[in-house]
């Protein structure tokens, strides 16, 4: 096993810890960006209207949810979620990968057909055809869509309660072994 850890100053993130774990024997690799700060919980919304919008920079922390309502698709964080810096096209590629994975493992023909329809719609967006909205909701406020066209607002406490974070908490004070 190889471990690589590096502390970096990255615009829009401030100080981050970049980690990579890899195994030459089995090929396993896991990379992550751990952000050392917590900011105001935020929502970022961007309207995709043309091919140039695909190049807009997207920063997603490991606690952020990404939605595209027009496609009825949402990527929520889980315990193994990774942060990434990409662009809108890269987000669409990741979403295609998730849909392909789900399609591959379903036996239901109706679900396979819906998945294919969704893949076709994502492909059209990647070609600059059609319009959609990308929304990032981050309870720790460490994500963003870097454009003057991005709409930003603070998340309400009600919205925060409904978001998945991918973070697991273990409260050892409530152990059954204690009197």
Q: pLDDT (tens digit, 9 = 90+) per residue, 20-43?
A: 888 899 988 877 766 666 778 999
Q: According to the CATH classification, is domain 1-37 in 2.20.25.420? A: yes
Residue 126's alpha-carbon distances to 1, 50, 91, 97, in angstroms, are 37, 10, 10, 13
User: Is pLDDT of 100 > 90?
Assistant: yes
CA separation for the pair 27, 25 (Å, rounded): 6
pTM of the model: 0.76
Helices (H) and strands (E) in the chain, counts: 3, 11
Confidence band, pLDDT 50/70/90 cuts, at residue 77? confident
Which of 48, 3, 71, 32 has the alpha carbon at shortest distance from 145? 48
Q: Residue 141 burial by CB count (10 A; 0-12/13-18/19+): exposed, middle or buried?
A: buried
Per-residue pLDDT tens digits for 122-141: 999 999 999 999 999 998 88
- Give the start-to-end residue ranges of the domains of the chain: 1-37, 38-174
In this structure, is the dihedral angle defined by the CA atoms of residues 65, 96, 128 and 131, taken in order, positive or negative? negative
Superfamily for domain range 38-174: ZPR1, A/B domain (2.60.120.1040)
Question: What percent of the chain has a predicted confidence (pLDDT) above 70?
Answer: 85
In the DSSP assignment, the letter for residue 142 is -
């Amino acid at each position: 096993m190889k471990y690589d850890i590096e502390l970096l100053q990255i615009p829009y993130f401030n100080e981050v810890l970049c980690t990579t774990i890899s195994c030459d024997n089995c090929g396993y690799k896991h990379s992550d960006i751990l952000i050392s700060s917590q900011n105001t919980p935020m929502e970022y919304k961007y309207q995709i209207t043309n091919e140039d919008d695909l190049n807009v920079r997207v920063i997603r922390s490991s606690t952020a949810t990404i939605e595209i309502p027009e496609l009825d698709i949402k990527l929520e964080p889980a315990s193994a979620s990774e942060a990434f810096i990409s662009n809108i096209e890269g987000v669409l590629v990741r979403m295609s990968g998730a849909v392909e994975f789900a399609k591959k493992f379903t036996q239901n023909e109706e679900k396979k057909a819906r998945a294919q329809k969704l893949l076709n719609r994502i492909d059209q967006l990647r070609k600059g055809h059609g319009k959609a909205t990308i929304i990032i909701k981050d309870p720790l406020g460490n994500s963003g869509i870097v454009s003057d066209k991005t709409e930003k607002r603070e998340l309400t406490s009600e919205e925060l309660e409904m978001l998945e974070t991918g973070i697991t908490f273990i409260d050892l004070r409530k152990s059954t072994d204690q009197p």
